[in-house]
Chain A
Amino acid sequence: MPQSQIMPGFRPAISFTLLYLSLIVLIPISALLLKSLQLSWDEYWAILTSKRVLASFRVSFVSSLIAAVIAGFLGFVIAWTLVRYPFPGKKLFDTLIDLPFALPTAVAGIVLTAIYEPKGWVGKLVMDTVGVQIAFKPLGIVFALIFIGLPFVVRTIEPVLQEFDTAMEEAAACLGASRRQAFVNVILPNILPAAITGVSLAFARGVGEYGSVIFIAGNMPYISEIVPLLIITKLEQYDYAGATAIGLTMLILSFLLLLMINGLQCWVRNRNGQL
């Protein structure tokens, strides 16, 4: 409970927060829970362990993980470039990074598919030179998710890099550290918590992403069928219980993941001796 504060308004603020949370988050989630209670435990388990559902979980989680890690590397390089080097058109470039946030994901999906399909510009080039097909394969999902996840990484790393005192690097250099040592021992520990946040946001977003992926994935059962698509497919077969069972599992997994990531972040911060 608040002691005397300078700003009034604790009551309206907390009631607004609770109302908002209930309407937008808690009530829909409890509806999901209630609906899935129609299933017995055995039925629930049978749905979840059916081969097709397991395969789609594998597709979703593996491709999101790969995409998030790649987005992490790319995002770091981009954030570094944006913070450290002046170049013409930097402001414009900076704005472009946020485009995937604003663009309807279906549009992103259609555009990515057009480019990476076997006859699209990039798709054809890659096909001819390396012999790898991107669109309509699991690889296509990874590409779409990198696109979707990149801004999360850039936008979380960027402010940390901006605040990072270059004097620390200089001090490291003066004390005889090589560039590599300076990076690994000085820069990396400082941005690691932000990087983990960015990557995990990209990962969480990727697991739930639907719009951009369905266009590029090919949607083949067992191979490139993502979990959200399977939920939609179940709904369209009027299998509401099956759809909610998968939905609920996604909810629990996402929650556990977020908890794990928060824990990891705390651990990294403590280890680096900051708060």
Chain B
Amino acid sequence: MKFTTLLSSLAVTLLLSGAAFADRSILNVSYDPTRELYQEVNKEFIKFWKEKTTETVSIQQSHGGGSKQTRAVIDGLEADVVTLALSYDIDQIAEKGGLLPKDWQNRLPNNSIPYTSTIVFLVRKGNPQGIKNWDDLARPGVSVITPNPKTSGGARYNYLAAWVFAEKNYGNKDAARDFVKRLYKNVPVLDSGARGSSTTFIQRGIGDVLITWENEAFLALKESAGGDYEIVVPPTSIKAETPVAVVDSIVKKHGTQDLAEAYLQYLYSPVGQKLAAKHFYRPYHPEYADPEDLKRFPKLEMFTVSEKFGGWPQAQKEHFDDGGTFDQIYTP
């Protein structure tokens, strides 16, 4: 027992130190569906940095449900940069962890949002349930897959998008509450993150419709060569503003401030923006993107969280904190 513990701790130490062979290294802590995007961005950035400074750097990525990732950073995961699903999560790192100033969002262009996304539906081939808009999701007999808004940033966007649809079409908050209640009655499984829900819908074959990130839906289409799914774009949806930030205390400790800042700036560069569009994120500078990539993005009416809910802290408090509208759905 003791010997194996010793062995495994040795192995862990070796693994950890293996990452330190490059001159400097930064850790990018991100949410679930950005894996593929950052794999490519990192490769390009390492090349770019080497040409510019001759220094060889390495970039580690960490992905998972947004809240879990945020909590890990607050609890001591040493992220040099965070690229998360919603500004509320980075606000928490500033407030609860005190790791960066509260006005972090003013430090980069467009409120530190290099690319955005939106929420769409993924349905099975031929759209057998005839899903077209948000109200179809609340019809009896339609099975809807979406993650738990308590633990997933994407799920919060899903919920708020449905809420705004209902408030607009049925007139008031009570009607909206009733609508989301009917919608969530149709949800058979609440996964903790967006990838979990994709797995439930795609691998397990459960549900008629998956409410998900636009980029996640495109990725699912790309990976199922057989064309088993279709994307349905509702007439209105939410604009998912996915911000990025350098974590000041950590980069000071690691001596990586210049590197981390350059890395985030790179996301706004022509190459960064082009890669974002390639990976199905809507770029801040569409002029840098490949026009073919841009054509894939359907036109729809999008609203932001600040327009409709007065910002994330307000939305969080009203809908997702304990006792909020989401909890009321399930209260028997």
- Where the two chains meet, the residues of A that have a C-beta atom closer than 8 Å to any C-beta of B are 50-52, 113-114, 117-119, 136, 214, 218-222, 232-233, 235-239, 242
- Asked whether, in the complex, the Cβ of B191 is within 8 Å of the Cβ of A219, the reply is yes
Residues of B within 8 A of A117 (CB): 204, 206
Contact of A136 among B150, B189, B321, B330 (CB under 8 A): B189
Give the shortest distance, in Å, between A166 (CB) and chain B (any CB): 35
- Asked whether, in the complex, the Cβ of B204 is within 8 Å of the Cβ of A233, the reply is no
- Asked whether, in the complex, the Cβ of B71 is within 8 Å of the Cβ of A51, the reply is no
- Asked whether, in the complex, the Cβ of A222 is within 8 Å of the Cβ of B189, the reply is no
Q: What's the dominant secondary structure at chain A's contact region? A: loop
A202 to B74 alpha-carbon distance, docked (Å) = 35
Residues of A within 8 A of B192 (CB): 214, 219, 232, 236
- Asked whether, in the complex, the Cβ of A220 is within 8 Å of the Cβ of B191, the reply is no
Give the shortest distance, in Å, between B9 (CB) and chain A (any CB): 14
Contact of B322 among A119, A236, A239 (CB under 8 A): A239
Residues of B within 8 A of A221 (CB): 190, 327, 330
A52 to B330 alpha-carbon distance, docked (Å) = 9
Contact of B188 among A50, A119, A218, A239 (CB under 8 A): A218
A232 to B148 alpha-carbon distance, docked (Å) = 12
- Asked whether, in the complex, the Cβ of A236 is within 8 Å of the Cβ of B150, the reply is yes
- Asked whether, in the complex, the Cβ of A236 is within 8 Å of the Cβ of B71, the reply is yes
Residue of B nearest to A221 (CB): B330
Residues of B within 8 A of A219 (CB): 148, 189-192
Residues of B within 8 A of A214 (CB): 192
Q: Within 8 Å of chain A (Cβ to Cβ): is B224?
A: no
Give the shortest distance, in Å, between A43 (CB) and chain B (any CB): 12
Give the shortest distance, in Å, between B331 (CB) and chain A (any CB): 7
- Asked whether, in the complex, the Cβ of B188 is within 8 Å of the Cβ of A51, the reply is no
Contact of B71 among A50, A52, A218, A238 (CB under 8 A): A238
Q: Within 8 Å of chain A (Cβ to Cβ): is B146?
A: no
Task: Give the 5 A-B residue pairs with the shortest CB-CB distance, closest first.
Answer: A236-B67, A221-B330, A236-B151, A219-B190, A218-B189
A119 to B201 alpha-carbon distance, docked (Å) = 12
Residue of A nearest to B188 (CB): A136
Give the shortest distance, in Å, between A18 (CB) and chain B (any CB): 16
- Asked whether, in the complex, the Cβ of B190 is within 8 Å of the Cβ of A238, the reply is no
Give the shortest distance, in Å, between B325 (CB) and chain A (any CB): 13
Beyond known contacts A117-B206, A119-B204, A236-B68: 15 more, CB 8 A cutoff: A50-B322, A51-B331, A51-B332, A114-B204, A118-B206, A214-B192, A218-B190, A219-B190, A219-B192, A221-B330, A222-B330, A232-B151, A236-B65, A238-B71, A238-B92
